[in-house]
Each structure stands twice: as structure tokens, then as C-alpha cells.
Structure 1
Amino acid sequence: MNKIEQSTEGFEEQLLRDLTAHVARRAEVASATRAAGLRTRFPRGWRLAGAFGLTVVLTAGALAVQTMGVGDRPPPTATASEIFRMAADAARQQPELTARPDQYVFTESLVTLRDEPASGPYRTHRTELWQSAGGVAYTQARYRPETDPNGWSEVQVLRLDDPGDPDRQLDAFQSPAYHGDLPTDPDELLRYLRDHPVDLHLPEGADEEAVYGDESMVYTTARMMLQGYVPPRALAALFELLAREPGAVVISGDVVDAAGRHGVAIRMPGVIGGNEDFLFDRDTHVFLGRRGSVVRDGKESLGLAFALLRIAIVDRPGQQP
């Protein structure tokens, strides 16, 4: 398991469980009118790699084993570092959102996943998430199949289901989602993230000194900042910092997300048993999100992925911007 998976598994698995239950309930209703119902299952051990709504989703027609959404455009000529720096320039042009600690970061996204780990069709669900800007309340969410505009679940609280924490006080769901205090200079941001690493909630017996002392930890923390809202100038510094991370490579070919946006994918280093890609708009270099793939028997297939549709600041869970 890689560090990012360790730090997000509780939150993300809870969303997966809730989404699974929702899909199953919809399937049971549908099965009354057709011979066989639909029940979505998820690859055991898979985590949602990153901020909900900040990860790319490929169109269902482009998803297949060893076919990672490559289109008919020529491969990008820029390096991973150059693309990150162009993404930093694009980030500086974005309007800035401000939030009070009692408000919420709202994200709307498309989530694509597969019925079976290496077979079956991919299905896309629309997800709305309300994360506490100041980390003073639990995250809440609702979702529906993209093919069913009326299939929304109820807005529900996402809590870590940990028998060792009966009061559910772990902060995996209560970290601040609004990162308004991040430095806007890459070198200052590097020092800040080294002094303020993300809490990985390591299992008992893990070598915390080795994990937190590893040079890659600062880049893990930088990626984790994308789970919430990062203001434009700080986001630019974050991308400039990620441009320094060794081992990132550009994936050859064009990638298309669920919204029909053409992107370029950067494969990040340090993932075990699969791959994690960052996606940027092919022309504007605006950050579109992430996708995670699994590798089995030498074959790669998409595990799950997200595409950001919109992000805003609202006053309460359930509120639309």
C-alpha cells in the first residue's frame, strides 16, 4: 500500500461502501422490471486516490484493459515538469474563493468504476460532496447514477467506521478542506509541508520515523492538499513543487474524460501494485484531476477515477452554489 492510500483509505472506503449500497438499492428496484438486477462491486483493497471530484474520469467507450483512454491526437512533447509549470501558470489565472471556518467546500464530480476488478462494464456516478472548510464538521455527500437524473441518494454524513474508535473522532473526515494559509512561494511551501506533513493514520507497528522522514513525504503531503480547495497562488506553488518530484512521466497519447475534455496525463511515482495519473487540460493545462489503475498479470486497467465538474463555497451541507 502506498502512502496516499494509507492516508485516505478510511474516508474513501466509507464513500465506496455508501456508493455501493446506493447502486445496489437502485439495482434491486430495477430488477423488478427486468430479468436480472445490477449490483456494483469494487476491487477489494482499492482506494479512491485523492480529493473527491479532483480526479479524471475516462469515457466508458475508452476504458479497456491496457487501453487507458488514448485518443487520436499526437503524444505531448512537453516533459512532466514543464506541464506542471504550465499548470502553475494556469492556476494563477483562476478566481479565488474565500471561506469561513464554518462554511463548506462543495465539489461536484463524476466517478467512474467497474463492476468487477478486471471485467464488466464501467459505470459513472455523479457525486456531490460538502467538506468542512475549517475542519469543524464531518464531510457529507450524495450521489446518483449518471444515467438516472432522479436517482439521488439522501445527503449523508461520512464517518470512519472503526471499531477501535467507537466515538468516531478520528480526523480523517474533519481535516480543513480550505487551505487558505499555504505559502505561495515554492521554497517556502516546501519548508511548510516538511514541517506540517499530512497525518497518514499509520497502522500500529509501522515505522513512523522512516515514513515521515522519507524525502518523498513532502510530495505526498503536497498531493493531499488537492483533497480540498487551494487558492490560486498557493496552487501554483504546489504545482511548481510537484514539478521537482523525480520520477514523474508523461503518458503518451490523448486522454478524454467523462465531460469530453481532452487531457494530458502525468504518471506519478511511488505507487505499488498500480499507477496514479494526474490529468491536465490538453490546451489550457488546468488541473482536471486523477485516475488510478491496477496492474494484474502484467495487464493494466482503470481501477476508478474522478472528474471535477465544479467547486464552490457554500454555507451548509445540501446547499447548491
Structure 2
Amino acid sequence: MIRNSRRRTEPLDHAELARLLPAPADPQLAASRQDLLEEHLMSEIHRPDHAPAASPVRRPLRRPLRRTVLFAAPVAAAAALAVVVSMSNPAGTIASPRPVKAPVVQIEEGSTVQLASTVHAIAAAATARTTPQPGPGQFIYIKSQVSFMSTRNNADTGESVTWVQPLHDREVWKSPDGTKGWLDEPGYQDKGGITLDTNEPRKQLSYTWLAAQPADPDAFLKSVYSTVSGNRDHDQQAFNEIGSIIREQLVPSGLAASLYEAAGKIPGVVVVEHAQDASGRDGIALARLDPQTGERSEWIFDRDSHQYLGSRGVQVREFNGVKPGTVVERTTILTRAVVDAKNQRPGTGQATA
């Protein structure tokens, strides 16, 4: 089986899946990243094993996007998931695109020298930008391009090669309160997408939850820390949680500055002067190194407008065979908008952010 990365990803609820999965004894991932891992886990059960033959490597995860959780689930849970997949797609399996070798980049050291000024510039730009406000019955629409990691070890040679998904489109629709939603990720989900409807929304990911948060950076950061738990580094969890909001949510205009200012207060956050998103756009990044996995999560902003471009995960310290410089995650935001219905795409006259 191929393991998929958020992260979070980069970053969603599936009610039936949530009922089948056992409750974790020690939650280690931000909610949005856990959701994304669940979605990719379902797609992996569909896919034939057509990547280069090898045995999977376990790797602790920082979020719903990837690693250990996939292999920690009991056999019974995996079997139950297979039943769900079979019921949702009785005609056959999804032929997911063949993974490719992960990109490798030169690691640039981060610094705190420009942290305060960079955070201030990003916060000011976010405040100045007009953000549409979703109304009753409307949906927040995010279109991005993403690529997440799948690591395999060659049992014959002992060599480890890190594979990633080819860059592909991902579209998400979310109701403001988080109870309704849809995900369309061609090649990785059922044709046409899957529902994200749930009776128990993870409130920290909803627009409604964000709109109710205090505008004071310290108070907001305290609220974010209240959502994390377990033995994993709480500072990293808080950073990942805010990153998940930035990537696939609409941030209320009154909270935008506080959100970035709060992120700048998390211990270990640095500025990386040069980082590329999934589209190859070079920008400046707010980043933090996960002390447990050796992976640095980077939020990338245009260096002139300071608008959010996307995210990148770079391995800084070798871990479980993943070499330093390996890009294990790439995302780029294409469209962020408010639409009138689920599955509707932005058109003329509709608000975009």
C-alpha cells in the first residue's frame, strides 16, 4: 500500500468513515489534516498497486495529510473501510496516476531576524484585502493543486525512494458551519467526488467558528492551543492547525491580521527567504521545523503583495529513509470564492477572495 501525506494538507469530514474508524488513544494530528488523510486512505484502498514494488515505511504524522495513522489503524477498521469503498464504487477501482519521484531542493536556513516585519506585512496585506462573507445556504469554494508523499523501501536493495503524487486538482466546497461539503479530486476519489456532510463538524475548521474567535492575537492563539492534545509537540500542532485554516478555509476579514500575528508568536517559527509553491512561484515563507519528524512546514507568500500562494513540506533532517531536501508536500491555491450551491464553481458576478 502507498502512504499518502497534511497535512495537511495541506488540510475534511467524511461522516461514514468517521463512524467506522476507531477513536485514537492519542490524537496527533490537526483535525483538517486527519480528515485529508482519511480521504486519501479511502482512495488508496481503491487504487491498484502499480507503483514500483516495495514495502511501505511507517512515518509519524503531523497532520491529517500523511503517514503513521495509515498503518496504525486496526485490520478490522481497514476491512470496514474497504466495505465503504466497495459500496460507493461497486463498478471497480480508481486508476490513480502513477507516483513520481519526489523533488529535491537545496535547504535554505530559516531566520527570525525578519520575522516580526514579515508577519506585520502579511497581516497588513490580509487586512487590506476584501474578503467575501458567505451567507445562509452559500458555500466556501477552494480550488488548489496538490501533491502529497508516498514512501516505499526496496526490500531487495535496502534503498529508499520517496514517491509523490503527480500535481493534480483538488476542489472543496464547505458550508460556513462545516456541516455540509463536497470534495472533488479526480483520480483520487470516486468520479464526481465525495460528500463531506456531517452531523458533527470539526468546529475549528469552520468559518462560523473562526468568525466567533477573538481578534486579539494572544487570545486567538490561546484558542488554537485549546484544540491540540496528545504527546506530539503542541507548538507544531498549533502551527499546523493555523496552516490548515489558511490553506482550505475563508478567514473572516476581522480575524485575518490576528491569525498571522498569532502564528508569528509560536516558538520556533522562522522566515525562509526563498520557497516555491506547487506552481513554481517563488515567495517568502513562514515556516516551522517539526522536531519529531524533521519536516519543515512552509506557508508561502508573494514577496511583493504578501498574498498566500500555497504550502510546501521539506525534509530537513533524515527520517525513516526520507533524505534531507526532499519535498514531501506541495500545494498552490488557484481560486478562493463564495458560491451559491455545493458543486457550483465561481462564475461571473460571484465573489472571490
Matched, 1:268 2:294: no
- In 2, the alpha carbon distance for the partners of 1:255 and 1:192 equals 27
> Does the residue aligned with 1:238 lie in a helix, a strand or coil?
helix
- In the alignment, is the contact (CA less than 8 A) between 2:298 and 2:311 conserved in 1? yes
Instruction: Tell me whether 264-273 or 114-123 shows the greater mean CA deviation.
Output: 114-123
| Partner residue of 2:37 out of 7, 10, 13 | 13
Post-superposition CA distance 1:83-105 (Å, at most 9, x none):
11111111122112111253221
- In 2, the alpha carbon distance for the partners of 1:109 and 1:308 equals 4
Matched, 1:177 2:177: no
Matched, 1:256 2:287: no
TM-score (norm 1): 0.66
Looking at both structures, which has the greater relative contact order when contacts are Cα pairs under 8 Å and sequence separation is at least 6? 1
- In the alignment, is the contact (CA less than 8 A) between 2:182 and 2:342 conserved in 1? yes
Listed as ranges, the gaps of 5+ residues in structure 1 are 28-36, 52-59, 160-167
- In the alignment, is the contact (CA less than 8 A) between 2:35 and 2:64 conserved in 1? no
Structure 1 residue 230: deviation in Å? Answer: 0.7
Partner of 1:309: 334
Structure 1 residue 180: deviation in Å? Answer: 2.8
1:223-242 alignment, distance < 5 Å:
223-226=243-246, 227-242=248-263
Structure 1 residue 215: deviation in Å? Answer: 7.7
> Does the residue aligned with 1:10 lie in a helix, a strand or coil?
helix
Partner of 1:99: 134
- In the alignment, is the contact (CA less than 8 A) between 1:255 and 1:264 conserved in 2? yes
1:12-91 alignment, distance < 5 Å:
12-20=36-44, 24=47, 44-45=58-59, 64-65=103-104, 67=106, 79-91=114-126
- In the alignment, is the contact (CA less than 8 A) between 2:235 and 2:266 conserved in 1? no
1:88-237 alignment, distance < 5 Å:
88-116=123-151, 118-120=161-163, 123-137=166-180, 139-144=181-186, 153-158=191-196, 170-172=200-202, 175-178=205-208, 179-184=210-215, 188-195=216-223, 199-200=227-228, 206=230, 222-226=242-246, 227-237=248-258
> Does the residue aligned with 1:171 lie in a helix, a strand or coil?
coil
Aligned residues: 272
- In the alignment, is the contact (CA less than 8 A) between 1:19 and 1:143 conserved in 2? no
- In 1, the alpha carbon distance for the partners of 2:339 and 2:302 equals 26
- In the alignment, is the contact (CA less than 8 A) between 1:14 and 1:158 conserved in 2? no
| Corresponding letter in the other structure for 1:93 | A
| Corresponding letter in the other structure for 2:185 | Y
Cα-Cα RMSD:
4.3
- Give every structure 1 segment of 4 or more consecutive aligned residues whose post-TM-superposition deviation is greater than 4 Å: 1-4, 37-51, 60-63, 75-78, 195-198, 214-224
Q: Cα distance 1:21–1:90, how it changes in 2: closer, same or farther (>3 A)? A: farther
- In the alignment, is the contact (CA less than 8 A) between 2:245 and 2:251 conserved in 1? yes
Matched, 1:286 2:307: yes
Q: Cα distance 1:81–1:63, how it changes in 2: closer, same or farther (>3 A)? A: farther
Post-superposition CA distance 1:257-288 (Å, at most 9, x none):
23342211222255521221121112221122
> Does the residue aligned with 2:29 lie in a helix, a strand or coil?
helix
Partner of 1:319: 344
Partner of 1:57: none
- In 2, the alpha carbon distance for the partners of 1:125 and 1:288 equals 16
Structure 1 residue 256: deviation in Å? Answer: 2.5
- In 1, the alpha carbon distance for the partners of 2:258 and 2:191 equals 37
